[in-house]
A and B are shown apart, each in its own frame.
Chain A
Amino acid sequence: MSAPSDNMPIPAPAIRSKPLVVRHLPYFIGAAILVALAASMRFDGYVHNILLQATTFSIAVFGLSVVLGLCGQINLAQAAFFGLGAYAVGIGTNDLHASFWLCLIGGCVISLLAGAFLGMSTLRLGGHYLAMVTISFQQIVTLVMINAIWLTHGPDGVSNIKRPDLFQSSQSYLAFCVAMLAIVGYLVWHLSDTKLGRAMRAVRDNELAAGVNGIDVFRTKIYAFALCALLGGLAGGLFAGGFAYVSPDQFSFAESIVFLTMSLLGGVASPIGSAIGTGLLILIPEWLRFLKSVPGLYLAIYGLFVILIIRFMPDGIWGFVADAFARWRAKSAPPPVAGALHLKPATVGGDIVLEVTGLSKHFGGLKAVDGVDIAVKRGGVHALIGPNGSGKTTTLNVLSGLYQATAGRIVLDGTDITNMPPHQRTASGLGRTFQNIRLFRSMTALENVEIGAERPGNTMVGKGDDALTERAMEALTFVGLGSRANELISSFSYGHQRLIEIARALASNPTLLLLDEPAAGLNSTEKLELHELLKRIAAQGLTILIIDHDMTLVSEAAQHITVLNFGRRIADGESLAVLRHPDVVSAYLGSE
């Protein structure tokens, strides 16, 4: 994330007319007005407290919009991270007489580390684990706050918390918090258009596809989670300074649920939604104070709200509004015209691009792939065929790293990739598509392809977002969909989605392209188009390894064929000779 001022000196490129800071100027002007209002208007104590609470809570909820909205991971301990920040400022300024700023930063660091640790221990596993582990963490933090009296003063809480000298008056402190809110809000809002933000959205939409497009899924999730924790800590520190008193019950599991409800109600995908949700859920209980007279009643209503929002308004209030707004507004400008796509596959190794030796993949007793050798020559199309259950797709999954090989060795262009995770194989020059299309559903075609173009080590993309967009447009134009670049994935036909997936792989300028049954589900016209596309790709010198059932496509497109049956290689060689091989004929047609 670059600070806005960094973008100033870059000359305006052809694609984007104005530098970022100019396009976002209205935001900063609006924020400045809000800060000025907060600093100058006279509020009575009650209104002031509500504003302060809304401001600090919003920052914590921004954290949830990163982890839940952008990255699709759950965090049920945001109140605990909020509490860590609050107690850091409380204990630090009251007991240790340390500077507010030091304590605020300390609280942020503690939250960040706690979040990173929790994430590292859990995020490799499914989301259920994360949900439970965060609840457990929340309980532990509450236990410590109540029982570690020597440190936290126990249930009495910490009082007499200091503010920074600069913002002693409650008026100026509120203005300071609003300014922090504006800055954090801007960063979170802008985050989704950065490389990290795109990676988070890709992980949310489809983890497998994110991995094979060069995104380190695990690390991306940890970043999101740690960032969420950090914002929680920051918000807590500001909260403690504002109210001068903290106690354990302010940071309980119930409060985590309140944060979650705020985020869901407003719309989890955007910071604007977070702010709306936070504001509403702070104001509504104030209007309905009588609900608080019966213990439990208002939390019960929160619980009911959560169920209803999830069911009837999954994108929250802001999602609903933004959706209507987008429909009402005229269609966005047509995408820019792009140049021709250039593919320049790396050539480090020798004549063989992919050398697979003795590759095996066993599932328990089942030998899905058993000692297979494949040598893919540089340039041209190599096909891997075989009857159903012969181990083709398993082979492809082992090659792209979705499965770990039981035995054997995979060398791509001189690099041993046998033990690499998927994203590192992609960085080494592997591109692939999936039999059942795996695109990032919430994004446009262009954004999907941009993620492909963003693969680490892609030498065909210059610096900056504009170069990325240019490369992605070239790839989309190459497959014939350039004019529809800004449409969402859901508006494309099945055949076109397949082409977008190929464009996504091409934009990354791979050394070897793996195509998993690209003709499956295509009609005859689309198959012809696919065939043409393969020819044009091969003409640029990119090596293709294709799996398919369509014998016409395979025999016409491929120069070299490897045949698998029951996990073993039964034939290998020049196309026509292989297709006439008696073992191949009997594998497909059965022997007498």
Chain B
Amino acid sequence: MDLALQLLFTGIGIGAVYALVALGFVLIFRATNVVNFAQGEFSMVAAYLMVVGIEAGLPYWAAFIAALLGMALLGAIFNLGVYYPLRHRTYLPVIIATIGASILLANSVLAIYGPQPQVLEGWFETPGIQVGPVYLDSQYLLIIGVTICLVIFNFWFFEKTLLGKKLQATSQDKEMASLLGISVSTMIMITFIYSAVLGGLAGILVAPVLFVSIQMGSTIALKAFAATIIGGFGDVAGAIIGGLALGVIETFGAAYISVPYKDGFAFLVLVAFLIFRPQGIFGERVAEKA
């Protein structure tokens, strides 16, 4: 029982990271109808930027801000270089281009920084606190806290602000939005920047828990994508619930079934959902279209 509680905490912590990346997926998907396969690399690049910043002698908070600014820039470049030129083509070329970008990003970092995984210290000095039978790791607490704040921020931003409403309008009907005087290309640009920052934030948060490595991007992206399908594709709440669920399933699977195949559980859950409930827990987005 104690072990189960401990695993639940860890699972929610790691699931929160998947949820953040999944959120980035969903936002870009809603704005452009395209899945960005380089979303995971945003997390990886941000973690490396953080490592570089700390090595350059910046204080933790300054490195953090610098990394997020770097991600905003990367999001903008990504939009201009990868998505925007292909925006009038079908989804297949765009998917392939984002896969190309993912390979480019991962291997550029590898070429610059080498294959050796890096270590990033956590935000807090104290490693954690003991509450009853459960040890609450401070970094996991931070991840969960930030995720909760971001979910609230997202809700406020998209539902209560004019910019958020414009973004929603763009994702629902581009033609109509442009007829109403909304600059669709600006909205898409903002979406890419925001998603890159979100993905980057997830990467920086999770880096002290995992190692900072080239593979972390694709691993996280895969889980996050599975999370979006479990939650219901294109659904913001679904992405978050799906991410948390996946984190918990995976942690329990690793503890009780097999450690080496830990990364395989996401795939099994994914296939089970695809076969039995492709619309996910919440979504109806797969619905018929004519």
- A110-137 interface bits toward B, Cβ cutoff 8 Å, 1 = contact, 0 = none: 0000000000011011111101110111
- B222 near A132 with CB under 8 A, answer yes
Contact A296/B104 with A143-B263, A306-B96, A311-B97 known, Cβ cut-off 8 Å? no
Q: Specify the main secondary structure of chain B where it touches its partner.
A: helix
Q: Which residues of A contact B103 (CB under 8 A)?
A: 254, 257, 299-300, 302-303, 306
The answer for the CA separation of A253 and B222 in the assembled complex, in Å, is 13
Instruction: Determine how close the nearest CB of chain B comes to the CB of A378; give it in whole angstroms.
Output: 28
A323→B64 CA distance, assembly (Å): 51
Q: Which of A29-37, A216-224, A279-287, A396-404 contacts B (4 or more CB under 8 A)?
A: A396-404
Residue B104 contacts which of A127, A208, A307 (CB distance < 8 angstroms)?
Answer: A307
- Is A157 engaged at the interface, CB distance under 8 Å to the other chain? no
Q: Which residues of B contact A132 (CB under 8 A)?
A: 35, 222, 225-226, 229, 270
From the candidates B95, B108, B261, B278, name the one contacting A296 in the complex (CB within 8 A).
B108
Which residues of the other chain, B, contact A257 by a CB distance below 8 angstroms? 99, 103
Q: Are B274 and A133 in contact (CB under 8 A)?
A: yes
Given contacts A129-B274, A310-B86, contact A74 B92 (CB under 8 A): yes
Interface: A151 (CB within 8 A)? no
How many angstroms from the CA of A133 to the CA of B114 in the assembled complex?
Answer: 29
Q: Say yes or no: B214 contacts A296, CB within 8 Å.
A: yes
Q: Are A139 and B222 in contact (CB under 8 A)?
A: yes
Cα(A299)–Cα(B105), bound, Å: 10
Residue of B nearest to A300 (CB): B107
Residues A264 and B96 in contact, CB atoms below 8 Å apart: yes
| A residues less than 8 Å from B82 (CB atoms) | 307
Number of A-B residue pairs having CB atoms within 8 Å of each other in the complex: 140
Shortest beta-carbon distance from A260 to chain B in Å: 7
Q: For residue A302, which residues in chain B have a CB less than 8 angstroms away from its CB?
A: 100, 103, 107
Q: Which of A208, A295, A311, A397 contacts B85 (CB 8 A)?
A: A311
Whether the Cβ atoms of A139 and B290 lie closer than 8 Å is no
Q: A143-B261, A303-B102, A303-B104 are in contact. Are A314 and B274 (CB under 8 A)?
A: no
CB contacts (< 8 Å) of B96 on chain A: these are 74, 260, 264, 306, 310
Residues on A with beta carbons closer than 8 Å to the beta carbon of B101: 303, 307
Within 8 A of A (CB), among B247-261: 260-261
Q: How far is the CA of A136 from the CA of B99 in the complex (A)?
A: 14
Contacts of B260 in A (CB 8 A): 143, 146-147
- Specify which of A76, A128, A140 lies most central, judged by the most chain B CB atoms within 10 Å of its CB: A128
- A127 contacts B270, C-beta separation under 8 Å: no
A590 CA / B76 CA spacing, docked (Å): 52
Kindly provide the distance from the CB of B99 to the nearest chain A CB, expressed in whole angstroms. 7
Tell yes or no: A102 within 8 A of B by CB: no
Does B286 touch A at the CB level, under 8 Å?
yes
Q: Given A76-B99, A296-B107, A307-B81, A402–B288 Cβ distance below 8 Å?
A: yes
| Contacting residues of chain B (60-93) with chain A, CB-CB under 8 angstroms | 81-82, 85-86, 89, 91-93
B179 is an interface residue with CB less than 8 A from chain A = no
B266 near A310: Cβ-Cβ < 8 Å: no
Q: Specify which chain A residues have a CB less than 8 angstroms from the CB of B106 in the assembled complex.
A: 296, 299-300, 303
Q: Is B111 an interface residue (CB 8 A)?
A: yes
Q: How many chain B residues have a CB neighbour from A under 8 Å?
A: 51
Contact, CB under 8 Å: A136 / B270: yes
Q: Which of B13-44 contact A (CB under 8 A)?
A: 29, 34-35, 37
Which chain A positions have C-beta within 8 A of B214? 296
In the assembled complex, the Cα of A132 lies from the Cα of B29 at a distance in Å of 14
B264 contacts the other chain (CB 8 A):
yes
How many chain A residues touch B (CB < 8 A): the figure is: 48
Interface centre among A253, A303, A397, A403 (most CB of B within 10 A): A303
**In contact, A314 and B109 (Cβ under 8 angstroms):** no
B102 CB contacts on chain A under 8 angstroms = 303
Question: Using a CB-CB cutoff of 8 Å, which residues 384-405 of chain A contact chain B?
Answer: 397, 402-404
Q: Are B274 and A121 in contact (CB under 8 A)?
A: yes
- B64 CB to closest chain A CB, in angstroms? 26
B99, B107, B109, B271: the one contacting A133 at CB < 8 Å is: B271
Q: Which residues of the partner chain B approach A124 to less than 8 Å between Cβ atoms?
A: 278
What residue of chain A has the Cβ atom nearest to residue B288's Cβ? Answer: A403
Judged by a CB distance under 8 angstroms, whether A297 is at the interface is: yes
Q: How long is the Cα–Cα vector from A297 to B82 in the complex, in angstroms?
A: 20
B275 within 8 Å of A by Cβ? yes
Most buried by A among B103, B266, B286: B103
Q: Is A518 an interface residue (CB 8 A)?
A: no
Q: Is A121 a contact partner of B111 (Cβ separation < 8 A)?
A: no
Q: How far is the CB of A144 from chain B (nearest CB, A)?
A: 8
Question: Judging by beta carbons under 8 Å apart, are A122 and B222 in contact?
Answer: no
Residues of A within 8 A of B115 (CB): 295-296
Check: A305 CB closer than 8 A to any chain B CB. yes
Asked if residues B114 and A310 are in contact (CB atoms below 8 Å), the reply is no
B267 within 8 A of A: yes
Judging by beta carbons under 8 Å apart, are A128 and B95 in contact?
yes
B170 at the interface (CB under 8 A from A): no
B108 — which chain A residues lie within 8 A by C-beta? 296, 300
Kindly state whether residue B176 has any CB partner on chain A within 8 Å: no
Q: Give residues 291-338 of A contacting B (CB, 8 Å).
A: 294-300, 302-307, 310-311, 314
Of B35, B86, B109, which is within 8 A of A128 by CB?
B35
List of A residues within 8 angstroms of B91 by Cβ: 126-128
Q: Is B4 an interface residue (CB 8 A)?
A: no
- Known A-B contacts A132-B222, A136-B222, A136-B226; the reply to A300 vs B267 at CB < 8 A is no
A129 to B280, CA, bound (A): 12
Return chain B residues, CB-CB under 8 Å to A127.
91-92, 95
A204 vs chain B, min Cβ distance (A): 9
Q: How far is the CB of A395 from chain B (nearest CB, A)?
A: 12
- The answer for the CA separation of A305 and B104 in the assembled complex, in Å, is 9
A133 and B273 alpha carbons, distance in the complex (Å): 12
Whether a CB of chain A sits under 8 angstroms from the CB of B110 is yes
Extra pairs beyond A297-B111, A311-B86 (18, CB < 8 Å): A127-B91, A127-B95, A128-B233, A129-B274, A132-B229, A133-B270, A136-B271, A137-B267, A139-B264, A140-B267, A257-B99, A296-B214, A298-B107, A299-B106, A300-B104, A303-B102, A306-B99, A307-B101
Chain A to chain B contacts (Cβ below 8 Å), 26 pairs: A74-B95, A121-B271, A127-B91, A128-B29, A133-B274, A135-B218, A136-B222, A136-B270, A146-B260, A295-B110, A295-B114, A296-B110, A300-B103, A300-B108, A302-B100, A303-B104, A303-B105, A303-B106, A303-B107, A304-B104, A305-B100, A306-B96, A306-B104, A307-B82, A310-B96, A311-B97
A-B residue pairs, 3 tightest by C-beta = A306-B100, A296-B110, A303-B104
